[in-house]
Amino acid sequence: MQNHDLESMMKAMSTEQTRLDQIEQLLIQTKYAQKAAEKEIKTKPKQGITQSLKEDSAKVTNQVDNTVEIEHKVDVAVESMIYTFLGVLIVAVVIGVAIGGLCLLCCMRGYQRSQKRRLAETGLKF
């Protein structure tokens, strides 16, 4: 009977040892799973931050490109306005010179006619 008790105790101990090994394996697996989950949680925000930074930089790049486009369009419009203004100014000056020249020509013709008549009148008197 002692032999049978010893064998049953040995079997019980071996099953206890197997159970302890299984429990130990489960604990190790749980620790690894927990560490992997913590690592994933730590990397997810970084990836999220990185993704949001990439999206923000893309938005800023688009805004800068739009700003550059708008500045270019404004520069073209300003140049166009300046050239238009200078063209109108030059045409106005040319027209003014032409009108002034015509007025001066008309005045001088009238003055010369009057002068010829006056000279003719004074020549008769002398």
C-alpha distance from residue 86 to each of 28, 59, 81 (Å): 85, 40, 9
The whole-angstrom separation of Cα 112 and Cα 118 is: 10
pLDDT digits (tens, 9 = 90+) for 10-50: 666 677 777 777 777 777 878 777 777 777 666 655 566 67
How many angstroms separate the CA atoms of 38 and 90, rounded?
77
Report the distance separating Cα 32 and Cα 23, nearest Å. 14
Q: Which residue has the higher pLDDT, 4 or 77?
A: 77
CB-count exposure of residue 104 (10 Å: 0-12, 13-18, 19+): exposed
- pLDDT higher than 80, residue 93: yes
Look at residue 91 in the predicted model and tell me its pLDDT.
Answer: 96
pLDDT of 102 over the 90 cut: yes
Whole-Å CA distances, 84 to 2, 12, 72, 98 = 120, 106, 18, 21
Q: Answer yes or no: pTM beyond 0.95.
A: no
